[in-house]
Structure 1
Amino acid sequence: MRRHEYFVYILTNQNKTVLYVGMTNDLSRRLSEHTDKYNPEGFTAKYKCKFLLHWESYQYVRDAIAREKEIKKWRREKKEKLISENNPNWDFLNKEVVEN
């Protein structure tokens, strides 16, 4: 049986002034879509959110959806704390995901 994998992720813009929370089953593809402005009318294109700061992996889609909803409800300060726990310098992590 094939193991499924789902990702909850947080993106930002170049100046790190906007945070976007999303969920996908293919993080590398989804990052490319954000970079290529797959949806030019969408939030990430409008605010130029294409830089990965944080991601989490889940086996079950329902867990990933629940986590995405949970994080989306948080205030910015709590999201910043989550990012800083694993990425204290707020480095852009796109290359780590796309190269793997």
Structure 2
Amino acid sequence: MDEFVVYILYSKSFGKTYTGMTSALITRFHFHNFKSTKGFTLKYRPWIVIHVEFFNSKTEALIREKELKSGKGRDWLRLNVLPNYS
């Protein structure tokens, strides 16, 4: 059975966050930091992983990713996770 991960990356240099979902976190993290040649994450390297949540289904993970990308989710991140990294 596959396991899905919702992750949040943080670029301390730029004060930016990125939220995503994958079934291969290490590979995806490496892509964001080294292999990507276009897209949002390219401009704000280097990234660190600051939060992960694991799910048994892709549907659950996608729902949580969407929640974290909402205004309420960004507020939660700002209050509960980011203070540990600023």
TM-score exceeds 0.5: yes
| Unpaired stretches in structure 1, ≥5 consecutive residues | 92-100
Conserved? CA contact 2:21–2:62, under 8 Å: yes
Matched residues in 2 for 1:89 and 1:78: separation?
13
Q: How many residues align?
A: 85
Aligned position for 1:31: 29
TM-score of the pair, normalised by structure 2: 0.83
Greater share of residues in strand: 2
Aligned position for 2:38: 41
Aligned position for 1:55: 52
Q: What is the root-mean-square deviation of aligned Cα atoms in Å?
A: 2.1
Matched, 1:69 2:66: yes
Matched residues in 2 for 1:55 and 1:6: separation?
10
Give CA-to-partner distance per residue, 1:42-72, whole Å, 9 cap, x none. Answer: 1011122521110100000000001001110
Conserved? CA contact 2:14–2:44, under 8 Å: no
Aligned position for 2:76: 78
Aligned position for 1:4: 2
